[in-house]
A = this chain, B = another copy of it.
Amino acid sequence: MQSQQKPHVVIIGGGFGGLWAARALAGSAVRVSLIDKVNHHLFQPLLYQVATAGLSMPDIAAPLRHILRNQANATVLLGEVSEIDHARRQVRCTDGNALDYDYLIVASGARHAYFGHDEWAAHAPGLKTLDDALVIRRQVLTAFERAEAEPDAARRAAWLNFVVIGGGPTGVELAGTLAEIARHTLRREFRRVDPATARVMLVEAGPRVLAALPAELSVKAEKQLQRLGVEVLTGRAVTTVDADGIALGEERIAARSVLWAAGVAASPLGRQLGAPLDKAGRVLVQDDLSLAGQPEIFVIGDLASKQQDGRPLPGVAPVAKQMGTHAARTILARLRGQPARPFRYSDVGSLATIGRMAAVADLGRIRLSGILAWWFWLFVHIFFLIGFRSRLIVLINWAWSYWTYQRHARIIVGQQPATPEDRSA
C-alpha cells in the first residue's frame, strides 16, 4: 500500500496542542495517528462550568474522532501511552498496542499536583478532566444536602464552608461561581438551612490573585470577588488539608469542601524522552519545539518548557494551539527539505472570569474589568468552542442561567453521597 510509505506522525494527546497539530497536517502526504486516554477533546477554559453545574459535559466536549472525521489521513486511537521508546521510535500503550513513528508530537499536558502532599488529594479534588468536574460537582452539591440534613450546628457550618486553594484563573472562577450558587441559585430551595450563609474562601499563598496579570487587574479582581461574597485570603499558605478542613499555619478552618486549584505538574511521559526537564518537570525544547539531538520529536503545550523574551510561556490554550500548528508545519517543512523556523508565540492577551458579570482582561494596551470584560470573555469563549452544535446550546444555557440564576446541570451522579464517616475514611 502506498499510504504505508508515507511518513507516520504520532501525536500523543488530543488537547489544544495535539488537536491543532493534527489539523495542521490535514491534506498533507503524511499518516497521522492521534492517541488519547479519553475519547473527547475538552474545552478546558469552561471546565469549571461543568464542575459548578452550569453546563453539561457535551456542551464543552466532543469526540476526537468526530472532530477529525473528514480528515482522511488521521486515525484516532483511544489508549494510554505507557512507554516512549525513542531509540526504536516506538510508542507503546497499556493495552499492548505499539505504534512506530517517523515523527512524534508529545502533547500530553499536565495534571494538578499537590507539591509533595499527595495525601491532600483525597480531601481536595483538583480540576483537569471531566471526571474531575463530576467529582467536584458531586461534592459541592452534596455539601448543601448534608447541611440540610445535619442536626448539629457546628457540623452544619462545616458543610457550608467552602475553601478554594489557589488564586489563579481556575481558583478565581470556582470561588466566584460557588458564591453565586450559594447566594442565588439555591435560594428558597432549602427549608432548614439558608445557603446564603455559606462561606466561600479563596486562599492564595502569594500576595495577589491572578498573579500572571498586571497588579492593577488583580486588585480589581479581588474587589469583584468580594462583591460576589468571596473571602479572599492572600499571603496565606495552606499547611494542612484533611477530612475536617484546612490549616493556615496556626489557624484552622473547618470545611467539608476543599477544592484544589493551586498547581499542576507536567505529564510523566516527559521523563521518557531523554531530554532535560525544568524544575516543574516540563521538557526543555529547542527554538523549533523539537528536542536537542532528536529532531523527530516535538514537545508542545503544557508539557513544553519554552522561554520567550526572558519569560516562560504560560500554560494556556493559545500557546498550545500555536505550538501544535508550528510543530506540524515544521515537520512538513523538513519533509520538503526546507529549514525549520523558530517558534514565536503571538500574544493574544489574557482573560480571567470571576463570576456573573465580573471578569478582567489584559489585551496589551487595553485593560478591561467588570461587565465589559465579562461580555468580552463570554464572546471569546463561545466563539472558540469547538464543534458544530455546542455554541448554540451553550448560548441558550447561558442566557437561561443569566436571567434565572439557575444552573441546569445540578445532577449528582457517581458514588452514593458521602456520609460524614465515609468522608474521613
Interface assignment of A57: CB less than 8 Å from any CB of chain B = yes
Contact of A66 among B96, B142, B410 (CB under 8 A): B410
Given A145-B78, A189-B66, A191-B75, A411 contacting B131 (CB threshold 8 A) = no
Residue of B nearest to A417 (CB): B78
Interface assignment of A104: CB less than 8 Å from any CB of chain B = no
B134 touches A413 (CB 8 A): yes
**Residue of A151, A390, A392, A419 ringed by the most chain B CB atoms within 10 A:** A419
A149 touches B408 (CB 8 A): no
Contact of A412 among B40, B62, B97, B192 (CB under 8 A): B40
Residue of B nearest to A78 (CB): B145
Chain A 49-65, CB-CB to B under 8 Å as 1, else 0, gives: 00000001111011101
A134 and B191 alpha carbons, distance in the complex (Å): 32
Q: Which residues of chain B have C-beta atoms less than 8 A from A271's C-beta?
A: none
Q: Which residues of chain B have C-beta atoms less than 8 A from A390's C-beta?
A: 408
Q: Which residues of chain B have C-beta atoms less than 8 A from A145's C-beta?
A: 39, 77-78
A410 and B64 alpha carbons, distance in the complex (Å): 10
A57 touches B413 (CB 8 A): yes
A413 and B129 alpha carbons, distance in the complex (Å): 9
Given A66-B189, A95-B419, A189-B69, A408 contacting B396 (CB threshold 8 A) = no
Interface assignment of A317: CB less than 8 Å from any CB of chain B = no
Interface assignment of A38: CB less than 8 Å from any CB of chain B = yes
Residue of B nearest to A77 (CB): B149
Q: Which residues of chain B have C-beta atoms less than 8 A from A410's C-beta?
A: 39-40, 58, 62-63, 66
Residue of B nearest to A190 (CB): B65
Residue of B nearest to A64 (CB): B189
Given A56-B56, A58-B56, A65-B189, A149 contacting B78 (CB threshold 8 A) = yes
Interface assignment of A6: CB less than 8 Å from any CB of chain B = no
CB distance from A136 to the nearest CB of B (A): 13
Q: Which residues of chain B have C-beta atoms less than 8 A from A420's C-beta?
A: 95
Q: Which residues of chain B have C-beta atoms less than 8 A from A131's C-beta?
A: 413-414
A393 and B61 alpha carbons, distance in the complex (Å): 17
Interface assignment of A308: CB less than 8 Å from any CB of chain B = no
Interface assignment of A362: CB less than 8 Å from any CB of chain B = no
A190 and B149 alpha carbons, distance in the complex (Å): 49
- Give the contacts of A38-97 with B (CB-CB under 8 A): 38-40, 56-59, 61-63, 65-66, 69-70, 74-80, 94-97
B57 touches A142 (CB 8 A): no
CB distance from A295 to the nearest CB of B (A): 28
A149 touches B97 (CB 8 A): yes
Interface assignment of A242: CB less than 8 Å from any CB of chain B = no
Q: Which residues of chain B have C-beta atoms less than 8 A from A414's C-beta?
A: 131
Interface assignment of A346: CB less than 8 Å from any CB of chain B = no
B413 touches A130 (CB 8 A): yes
B412 touches A188 (CB 8 A): no
Contact of A411 among B39, B149, B413 (CB under 8 A): B39
B393 touches A58 (CB 8 A): no
Interface assignment of A416: CB less than 8 Å from any CB of chain B = yes
Interface assignment of A288: CB less than 8 Å from any CB of chain B = no
CB distance from A367 to the nearest CB of B (A): 36
CB distance from A310 to the nearest CB of B (A): 40
Interface assignment of A252: CB less than 8 Å from any CB of chain B = no
Interface assignment of A37: CB less than 8 Å from any CB of chain B = yes
B192 touches A75 (CB 8 A): yes
Interface residues of A (CB under 8 A from B): 37-40, 56-59, 61-63, 65-66, 69-70, 74-80, 94-97, 130-131, 134, 141-142, 145-146, 148-149, 151, 188-192, 388-390, 392-393, 396-397, 400, 406, 408-414, 416-417, 419-420
**Cross-chain pairs A/B with CB under 8 angstroms, 6 sampled:** A40-B412, A56-B409, A65-B190, A76-B191, A78-B146, A389-B406
List 5 other contacts, CB 8 Å, given A97-B149, A131-B414, A389-B406: A39-B141, A57-B411, A76-B191, A94-B419, A130-B413
> 4 closest Cβ contacts across the A-B interface?
A78-B145, A56-B56, A58-B409, A75-B191
